[in-house]
Structure 1
Amino acid sequence: MTNDCWLAASKFMAHKKAGGSTSNGRNSPGQRLGIKRYGGQLVKSGEIIVRQVGTKYHPGVNVGLGKDYTIFAKIDGQVEFSRYSKTKKCVNVVPAPVNAQ
């Protein structure tokens, strides 16, 4: 009688996991965030200086902030990074010095 119970139970129990779905099989490309122009570099008007998520860097003088928090130059000039608090960093564009020759 116990053998019959064992045979009946073994018919309904799976011995291998059913294949088919995987939960980790996808990836997405990076967003290419970060500083695009460093301090001291010359930029033209409209050029992207920083791509970021949120305001890691805050806009300063002659700099705009896009709706995706991209910081861009409003005038031609030289990039300058500075701090205005212990934790807050600011990006400015100062007019490029004219080289007298």
Structure 2
Amino acid sequence: MFKLILQLHAHKKGTGSSHNGRDSNAQRLGTKAHDGQVVTAGSIIVRQHGTRFHTGKNVGIGRDYTIYAKIAGTVRFGRRGRTERIISVEPLEEAKEA
């Protein structure tokens, strides 16, 4: 007589290491220039998602919420009210005297 050999295979793939090997790139957010640090015009001060920090004097905000210096000066962090954190740039002393 005939011998019937039955071999079963998985109908779904196992979740192996080849399916898990991926990761996203870091977004490099955060403070790039700290309080009291001297920056040039156009320097990025903070990269952020949303307005964790708000703009003060002599700073601008990009469409991706990046805060940058509009003039050369010293970075100052402060608060407006109890909750709103602001960033400003004070002009350099040499510029005031000239």
Structure 2 runs not aligned, ≥5 long:
1-5
Query: Which TM-score applies when normalising by structure 1?
Result: 0.75
State the aligned residue count. 90
Q: Which has the larger radius of gyration?
A: 1
Aligned counterpart in structure 2 of residue 19 of structure 1, from 3, 14, 17: 14
Which residue is equivalent to 2:35? 39
Query: Which TM-score applies when normalising by structure 2?
Result: 0.77
Aligned counterpart in structure 1 of residue 63 of structure 2, from 37, 62, 67: 67
RMSD between superposed Cα atoms in Å: 2.7
Is 2:56 the partner of 1:83? no
State the shift of 1:20 in Å: 6.4
Which residue is equivalent to 2:3? none
Instruction: Calculate percent identity across the aligned residue pairs.
Output: 47
Aligned counterpart in structure 2 of residue 50 of structure 1, from 46, 54, 57: 46
Structure 2 CA distance for partners of 1:62 and 1:15, relative to 1, 3 Å: closer
Q: Which amino acid aligns with 2:14?
A: G
State the shift of 1:26 in Å: 1.8
